[in-house]
Structure 1
């Protein structure tokens, strides 16, 4: 299959755009109506070999990557029930006199809703409250203080300096993340429809929080077979985790991104079995012609002039993955050339593994871990520290922004260096580390050995970071070789500094 066949017009939204429908039989036709943004690539039903491959994959998942136990599911459900009661009590405590029948809407979304989460993953939840409960005072002050006073709540932290502010904590040992959205109603209707809500009347923070939960609900609604989609997404996430890719670090893909990518393959193969969806996932995205967007629905224009993603006005987006809810936007707008290059590399590796699996039927090979610290000869280590979690969050965000500038400077130099960001987050309560693997464009006799990063580039990076630094913040930069990294004894105290 050539690139044109795989990325346009069959899956790219440039040709025939179909209505947003689930698989349903058109009158007088033996084929389903269109859904998604293009016609399906294949209407084929599973063959015996494909069913056999699926059975083998399910066996590997059950043996080596089991789902949550019944006890873990019970603990999560109990914690959510308790948090729902806490939320309802909190809203009632803030209700002005004269307003009756006040309530809040609370539910889980994200990976928990899609049933592809692990017990150690924080459950994404949202509280949708009335207009008199705001973010700054009602949520981050009163609700935060209420949670602090509860013995069953541990590791509570607030993260405000982001598009979707949230609180994260453990309730009875269950990790939970909660966001808040305020609706322009004093009393929220009991028949409130998540998909019909008027986002125009919300403030920006509430709209972003609200969209975060609507995305997963809409993805689930738009795929043709929920069961196949769920297991395929879980398979891809296990693969991504084994390669350290399950991260939002500096433009790498998060949960919603993976769900949209897998959902697009399910739309293109509405009757396919699990193994076919996984094979097609790597086959297609290993040659996807970026910046062609990946989308589940066609973005509709906005008469109210809310910002909606458009390929002409957003032509600088290099890896557009478009959210399926109005107003549609690129949820991977922070992707850089280096992260895109690395993602394509991993997709190609996955495709090569799938070709071998078709021969040897050994699905365990797909989930072999990727050893980033054994892949490159030289590494750059950037370590950020702060004396409070709030400062560390700000310092980390600044570091990510400046890191992209550093990478562009390194790759623009005469050393012909190529940077590869470690996608795994190295974060503790007081420090955050970034690692860059270095390879070279020039092939030397034998193995390519990259040169050192020029000291003037590092010095410029340090000066830029110093300009952002506040009291209690520190930054260190080290250049390490592969032998040192493989020893796994590196740390802030032992890190060799670049002077």
Structure 2
């Protein structure tokens, strides 16, 4: 018996809960206005025309966010697309925060266009021309493509397939909007950190809709979503359509990468790929805890004792662990820092995977939120000792929560390997960039962060830059470790 029933209170009806849910989403995640849709349409048109100009010149020998895809002919390589489109897009006055992400599963150009975040991917198909009536759903276009092109095409192909798989579009839209908002608020909406991405949220929402009657209330579908995600055996592929067999058929018994996947959420489009390949043991455990909590919180909303804000209450990630691995990166300009911090963000999942190997570490929790130009408190003196003179730098800080067994852990190996991997990236420039890793206690987290200061804070971080013959160094730099892990060597610096 619910708490409301015990008190003799009338439980809210499903219709009233749906009304309150719809109003909650309207307040927290409003639908795009007509003016906003017009801006988005103009962005697509301008990028389309820019791409056409690029392909034409290339052929003559001259050299919430939007997910967009450009499809080019076989003579336009991915490298040529990135370099050529960057030269055409970056000078536009309406474009800011432009970076190239080349080493991801889906390489893309990321930027803001008229204030809207854009992720622009590219796929090269084995044809000499691309007709205006190009059909992205045609399986024949997949012949001869590499894995990155297949993944790039998978997004729009999946979007078309999803339309035919949704039993009730109105029901689905409410459910998927809530799931994305919930995941973001709870700190598990970040594929780059090993959590759920947008595609995984959509597939989960479709699955829940498929499992419920077509006229089911959205609240019931949400309840089904959390229950399904919590109870699913993740060694079994999570699908919303049967996997289609082909010469490249995904099979975890033969695919080495597939065997290593911890969470198997498969895209519906041919060929199916795992969209949660970044998920590790720790991030799955964190998400399972959130799914279980979601079940309980939805039940309390349905009993009338709580509101929807309770379900999507922001997770206080800086109260969960006693220890945190802090990654500080800096460079001399905003432009270079955007590239450098983006590079490090894309590598965090690899650092998390290295840390998980350590048997002393029970949970590795990469925190999706990053913090720009936050004063680091007493650690500034440590950083200042790295070199003279002191200069004001652009600074970004990342944190990874650590739950360990015992009082001692040695992180020098994974941290050193991480720094060496950063050294080998195209983005790193030792003349103007640096990074520092160190373990801090919860009490040492800057007050500005604990008070909820968001990305883009205006406070200044003063850092010293250590250079020795312009080479990257890995080793001790005098960081003072907490007593709980006395003797650990969890630092490395560039």
Q: 1:386 touches 1:392 (CA, 8 Å); kept in 2?
A: no
Helix, strand or coil: the match of 2:130? coil
For structure 1, the residue ranges without an aligned partner over 5 or more in a row are: 1-47, 98-117, 442-450
Task: Say whether residues 1:164 and 2:106 are aligned partners.
Answer: yes
Match of 2:325 in 1: 380
Match of 1:404 in 2: 353
Task: Say whether residues 1:177 and 2:126 are aligned partners.
Answer: no
Match of 1:287 in 2: 231
RMSD: 2.9
Q: Tell me the distance in 1 between the aligned counterparts of 2:164 and 2:408.
A: 48
Higher mean displacement: 200-209 or 347-356: 200-209
Match of 1:318 in 2: 262
- Give 1:270 deviation, angstroms: 3.9
For residues 413-432 of structure 1, the aligned pairs below 5 Å read 413=360, 417-426=361-370
For residues 44-443 of structure 1, the aligned pairs below 5 Å read 49-96=13-60, 118=64, 122-137=65-80, 139-198=81-140, 199-271=142-214, 272-302=216-246, 305-306=247-248, 308-310=250-252, 313=255, 314-360=258-304, 362-385=307-330, 388=336, 390=339, 392-409=341-358, 412-413=359-360, 417-426=361-370, 433-439=397-403
Q: 2:101 touches 2:343 (CA, 8 Å); kept in 1?
A: no
Q: How many equivalent residue pairs?
A: 410
- Give 1:399 deviation, angstroms: 4.5
Q: 1:282 touches 1:351 (CA, 8 Å); kept in 2?
A: yes
Q: 1:342 touches 1:420 (CA, 8 Å); kept in 2?
A: no
Task: Give a deviation string over 1:130-150, Cα, whole Å, max 9, x none.
Answer: 23322222x122222122333
| Cα distance change on mapping 1:246 and 1:310 into 2, 3 Å | same
Q: Tell me the distance in 1 between the aligned counterparts of 2:58 and 2:302.
A: 60
Helix, strand or coil: the match of 1:176? strand
Q: Using structure 2 for the length normalisation, give the TM-score.
A: 0.75
For structure 2, the residue ranges without an aligned partner over 5 or more in a row are: 1-11, 374-393, 424-428, 451-459, 464-477, 482-488, 490-494
Q: Tell me the distance in 1 between the aligned counterparts of 2:148 and 2:404.
A: 43
| Cα distance change on mapping 1:476 and 1:95 into 2, 3 Å | closer
Task: Say whether residues 1:458 and 2:402 are aligned partners.
Answer: no
| Cα distance change on mapping 1:326 and 1:91 into 2, 3 Å | same
Q: Tell me the distance in 2 between the aligned counterparts of 1:65 and 1:149.
A: 32
Q: Using structure 1 for the length normalisation, give the TM-score.
A: 0.74
| Cα distance change on mapping 1:294 and 1:53 into 2, 3 Å | same
Helix, strand or coil: the match of 1:480? strand
- Give 1:176 deviation, angstroms: 1.6
| Cα distance change on mapping 1:66 and 1:309 into 2, 3 Å | same
Helix, strand or coil: the match of 1:333? coil
